[in-house]
Amino acid sequence: MISGAIDLGGTKIEARLFDGMMQTVAVKRVSTPREDFASFLAALVEQIRWLEATGENASLPIAISIAGLIDPKTGIATASNIPVSGHNLGLALRESLGRGLPMVNDCMAFAYSEAHGGAAEGADSVLGLVLGTGVGAGFVIEGRIPPRHAGLAVEIGHLGMPARALERHRLPIWTCGCGRIACNENYTSGTGLRRIAEWAGLADPEPQSVASRASADAESARVMQIWADLTGEMIYSAQLMLDPQVIVLGGGLSNIPRLPEMLSEAIGKLRLGQVRLPDIRVALHGDSSGARGAALMAKAGMA
């Protein structure tokens, strides 16, 4: 059975059509309108209609992976970079399309994808950790996304970085875009890695440049060690709360060479007694994994 997914983010609305083997057969991207909800909704509906037409099925199973939250009780959306906050997006789509479409947080969809035919196939519990411009995570237990009271994913990026970790490296306390101070993503995201590199005085603070120079440049290596240590603290918090069997890494920073080994070493220094550590792996399905997860859930009627 073919299926479709919308990957809905702050920069693009991507429609992706999958065949019965979950291989991508067609993709269409448009920029996300951010001026008002009406313009945004029109662009989203157009992308959905394109999927239905390309898949030659007006009832094509489609789910939406959204970089935001949908309250499961009220249907009201909350997002920072998409003009949907305060709106019932599901109801608006039903009125425009004549049918409802399931929606799932993009990090949850990512974790679901990697738990089903991805890097964490066969694992009982999977944390999908997305390290990009920000930090987000999703969680899957025995192949299913657990019920969510308020629609939250695993908002690990907005937990506080432990004071002990900042003190180790004499790092300043930075204010997060959410308004709180010392959130994890201030230090562990791509933006955070760049900020640490700037604080350390590197001439080129771009994350991929820092990572590529680390094997030959002592200052770049020091920045990567600090970043890995802080990211290890964040992962350690996730282990204490969720105890995942496998952690799958996604987002732009997941392309850093030897990243699973680097983070496994970091959390190994923090572990509680002889507690077994999670297995850290890089996502198998890359940038398309969130859309793939949504499409899988649409096929199964689970989103």
Q: Is residue 216 part of a domain?
A: yes
Pair 191, 279 in one domain: yes
Q: In this predicted model, what pLDDT tens digit does every residue of 35-72 receive, in sequence order?
A: 999 999 999 999 999 999 999 999 999 999 999 999 99
| Average pLDDT value for residue range 114-133 | 97
In what side-by-side order are the strands of the sheet with 3-8? 24-31, 12-18, 3-8, 62-66, 103-105
Q: What is the residue-wise DSSP string for 189-227? A: SHHHHHHHHHHTT-S---HHHHHHHTTT-HHHHHHHHHH
Pair 97, 185 in one domain: no
Position 1 scores a pLDDT of: 87
Pair 278, 291 in one domain: no
SS3 state of residue 160: strand
Number of residues that make up the chain: 303
Q: What's the chain's average pLDDT?
A: 95
Q: Is pLDDT at 302 greater than 80 in this prediction?
A: no
Q: Measuring CA to CA, which residue among 260, 272, 293, 298 is closest to residue 138?
A: 293
Q: Which domain holds residue 82?
A: 3-108+287-300
Q: Is residue 211 part of a domain?
A: yes
Element (H, E) at 8: strand 3-8
Q: Is residue 79 part of a domain?
A: yes
Angle of the 89-97 helix axis to the 37-54 helix axis, nearest 10: 50
Pair 102, 123 in one domain: no
Pair 22, 54 in one domain: yes
Pair 52, 198 in one domain: no
Pair 55, 202 in one domain: no
Please provide residue 29's backbone torsions phi and psi, each rounded to the nearest 5 degrees.
-120, 140
Q: Is residue 114 part of a domain?
A: no
pLDDT above 70 coverage of the chain, percent = 99
Domains held by the chain: number = 2
Q: Is residue 113 part of a domain?
A: no
Q: Is pLDDT at 303 greater than 70 in this prediction?
A: no
Please list the alpha-helical segments (H only) found in the chain: 37-54, 89-97, 106-115, 163-169, 185-188, 190-199, 207-213, 218-242, 259-268, 289-300
Q: Is residue 39 part of a domain?
A: yes
Q: Is residue 227 part of a domain?
A: yes
The span from the CA of 214 to the CA of 121, in Å, is: 32
Pair 56, 132 in one domain: no
Contact 154, 136 (CB under 8 A): yes
Q: Is residue 17 part of a domain?
A: yes
Q: Is pLDDT at 15 greater than 90 in this prediction?
A: yes
Pair 231, 159 in one domain: yes
Pair 200, 273 in one domain: yes
Position 272 scores a pLDDT of: 87
- What's 233's domain CATH number? 3.30.420.40
Q: In this predicted model, what pLDDT tens digit does every residue of 128-185 receive, in sequence order?
A: 999 999 999 999 999 999 998 988 999 999 999 999 999 999 999 999 988 899 999 9
Contacts of the segment 23-29: beta carbons below 8 A, 24+ positions apart? 24/288, 26/54, 28/54
Position 213 scores a pLDDT of: 95
Pair 67, 153 in one domain: no
Pair 249, 148 in one domain: yes
Q: In this predicted model, what pLDDT tens digit does every residue of 181-235 receive, in sequence order?
A: 999 999 999 999 999 999 999 999 999 999 999 999 999 999 999 999 999 999 9
